[in-house]
Structure 1
Amino acid sequence: MQHRHSHSRQTCKLLGGALVAASAFLGMHNASAADLTLRLAWYMPPNTAVADQGQEIADKIESMSQGDIKVQTFPSGSLLKESNIGQGVANNTANMVISGMHWWSNQAPALQWDTIPFLVDDASELLDKLHGPLGQDINQQLNRFGTQVIGWSFYGYALSYINNQHPVKRPSDLKGLKMRSEGKLSSIFLKSQGATPVSMDSSEVYTAIQRGTLDGGVSGLSSIVSRKWYEVGQYVTAIHYAPLVYPVQVNRQWWMGLKPSQRKMIQKAVASTESDAVAEIEQEFKKDIALMKKNGNQVYRPSDAELQTWQKATQAQARKNYLKDAGGQGQKILHDIDTSSE
């Protein structure tokens, strides 16, 4: 009897040892399978260039690291909304975000530079500049808030117009319209043309136009389509302005705590998505126009000659208003943009 108890205790010991060894092995295996888990957030809705690039970044990081880095994605504002995403990356709620620079513009006015119309011809030209002094100066500004730029994304071409009153073919046609504005410079421009600018979250615009509390709004075509404003607004003016820049930002303290090999891998993965993002916003601009025309909207796209009227009405005044707030930092950023990248 005593012998059987002794044998049983010995068996338990052996089993216990085997379980501990198995657990240790599984723990080692799991650690090697995902040495790092990264939280990536964005607030743009599905089927937009930012959302598509966010998912591509996640896929590329996991595949290029061969599973050593796992990415948890939080799309469409599921973790951080537009109103708190800057704070969310600064306090490391998300390790990485894709968001507009304008979140910081109240504290760093120089970062609203991309709302100045006609700064560059297209996103491809802008991406080249972002990989030079322009990108370095933006990063320096964002470092003040505890974030680091590791790559570039684009919301698309901003400052198009939709309303349900009449076609807007020239700036003076905005007179009398009550319009949701897109940032401070947009608000100043609308007011200068006799429109009434209204500050409103983009998610609230559909209902406001539907109820008649707004005549329309200013935004990129991607938002006009993805948020379905075209269902409640009839007249669209599609303008190929400079694209809004959405830096891929990380929490700086978290980033500097990674292994150099991990940082290199993540940056390489992000960089590999940038050219796709540029191509997508160009295609998206054309697809959005086609979709709205098919829906029955009246879509007006100014010719190159007609764009001169818009440029004359918007750019010089926007630059002046920008520099009034942004000072020397803004002057430096405009110099970066105006200087040839060749």
Structure 2
Amino acid sequence: MKGNFKLKGIAMLTALALGITGCTGQATEQGSDSGATVLRFSHFWPASSAMHVEVFEPWAEKVEADSGGQLKVEIYPSATLSKPDAMYDSAAKGIIDIGSQAHGYTAGRFPLTQIAELPGLSNSAVQMGCMLQTLYDDGTIASEYEDTHLLFLMGAGPAAIHTVDKPIRVPSDMKGLRIRRPSAIAGDIIEATGGTPVGLPANDLYTSLQRGVIDGLSFPWQPTGDFRLPELTTAHTNIPFYNSALLVTMNKDKYESLPDNLKKVLDDNSGKVMADLVGKVTDKEDKKYMDEARAAGHTMIDIPDPLNDPDWKGPLLEGTQKYLNDVKSLGLDADGVYEKVKLASAACKT
């Protein structure tokens, strides 16, 4: 009996030791699939959004297939692993392996990249994504991402102004309104019109509109639909006074730890090919949600060329110059980058 008891005790201790090893070592790095490296990917879009369903999920599936199952991407939507404005830093620090966020969520962190968001430079998400990826690939803005391994940059479609009920036809209509701004550039322009810019992450917009915290928001059409904002906003001014830049990036140490064949899988599924895919999906969604608002009888005001509009030209140029001056005050070549952005805009025009 003593011998049996001793053998059982050794077996239990061995099993316990193996269990501890599995929890602290291999399971963390490889997940449940033996031999597979798990990459945790966090983003702020809802799981029902086109960005999640038509971009990120197929991307994860393709990475897994191309790697022969050696890479597995676990996606966490709705900012469940990291706050919307901390995705980049979380990836840099290794809190997550891959993260996606809008550049404007971290004011001052990407000053050169955000020059591409200025008015009059982009008329579609495809064009904006092409511009951003071109500027990264030629080294113009690459220094802003050196603490991570950038996978790809993305562009949103032209912004619009969405208000609960007050139509915005001229800049003076913004006076006294609290308008959510997605970036410093949009904030400068809102201030120039007499509005009050309010910084809020996308996930908080619905409740903020419900509670009257804000009177409206500046946002492209695609995310307004993703976050169900047309349920609360009935007046829309389609005016391309800025385009948001977004990114998907990876922890540098995690990327460097991979063998060359798996690095190549990620490289082959990065860059312009993804920027273009995101742009096409986003432009399609922009049109869908805009058409739905028109069909619902919402007030729609179109200002397609604001830089040549006598009412809007002044505030937009004022906001542009203020942003360029702010970047120059950091000792950066804002004017030189602005010229390169304009060249990229012309080359990427669709």
The TM-score with structure 2 as length reference comes to 0.78
Percent identity, aligned pairs only?
Answer: 19
Contact 2:129 2:154 in 1 (8 A): no
CA-based RMSD: 3.1
Per-residue Cα deviation, 1:224-268 (whole angstroms, up to 9, x for no partner)? 222222222221112345542222211122222222221111121
Instruction: Give the one of 319, 335, 339 matched to 1:331.
Output: 335
1:283: how far off?
0.9
Tell me whether 1:166 sits opposite 2:171 in the alignment.
no
**Mapped contact 1:33–1:67 kept (Cα < 8 A):** no
The corresponding residue for 1:185 is 185
* Counterpart code for 1:194: G
Q: How many residues align?
A: 314
Q: Which residue of 2 aligns with 1:200?
A: 200
The 5 Å alignment of 1:1-342 reads 34-51=35-52, 52-135=54-137, 136-143=139-146, 146-154=147-155, 156-240=156-240, 243-271=243-271, 272-304=273-305, 308-309=308-309, 312-327=313-328, 328-340=332-344, 341=347
Aligned to 1:141, the other structure's residue is in SS state helix
Map of 1:24 onto structure 2: none
1:255-299, CA deviations, whole angstroms, 9 ceiling, x for partnerless residues? 222222211111212354433212111111110111222333222
* Structure 1 residue 171, shift from structure 2 partner: 2.5
Aligned residue for 2:300, secondary structure, equals strand
AA of the residue aligned to 1:91: K
Range moving further from structure 2, 88-97 or 292-301: 292-301
CA distance 1:223–1:124, shift in 2 (3 Å): closer
- Whole-Å Cα distance in 1 between the matches of residues 178 and 32 of structure 2? 56
SS of the aligned residue for 2:150 comes to strand
**1:32 and 1:82 mapped to 2: Cα distance?**
29
CA contact (8 A) 1:129 1:337 kept: yes
8 Å CA contact retained: 2:161, 2:216:
yes
Distance 1:128 1:212, change over 3 A: closer
8 Å CA contact retained: 1:157, 1:241: no
- Asked if the contact 1:153/1:274 (under 8 Å) is kept, the reply is yes
CA distance in 1, matches of 2:152, 2:200: 29
Per the alignment, do residues 264 and 332 of structure 1 end up closer, same or farther by CA in structure 2, a change over 3 Å counting? farther
Q: Spell out, residue by residue over 1:146-195, the C-alpha distance to the aligned partner (whole angstroms, 9 max, x if none).
A: 212122333x2253111124211232322232222222222222222122
**Does structure 2 conserve the Cα–Cα contact (< 8 Å) formed by 1:41 and 1:74?**
yes
Q: 1:149 to 1:314 in 2, by over 3 A?
A: farther
On the 8 A contact 1:105/1:111 being kept in 2, the answer is no
Aligned mates of 2:172, 2:280 — CA distance in 1: 33
Letter aligned with residue 98 of structure 2: M
* SS of residue paired to 1:151: strand
Gaps of 5+ in 1: 1-26
Shift of the 34–44 alpha-carbon distance from structure 1 to 2, 3 Å rule, reads same
Deviation of residue 89 (structure 1)? 0.4
Q: Structure 2: how far apart are the matches of 1:140 and 1:167?
A: 41
Q: Which moved more, 1:105-114 or 1:62-71?
A: 105-114
Shift of 1:73: 1.2
The separation in 2 between residues aligned to 1:270 and 1:239, in whole angstroms, is 31
> Which residue of structure 2 lines up, in the alignment, with residue 8 of structure 1?
none
Q: Which has the larger radius of gyration?
A: 1
- In the alignment, what sits opposite 1:22? none
SS of the residue 2:284 aligns to: helix
Give distance in 2, aligned partners of 1:215 and 1:129. Answer: 32
Match in the other structure for 2:24: none
Instruction: In structure 2, list runs of 5 or more residues that go unmatched.
Output: 1-26
Deviates more, 1:234-243 or 1:62-71: 234-243
* In structure 2, distance between residues paired with 1:249 and 1:307: 33
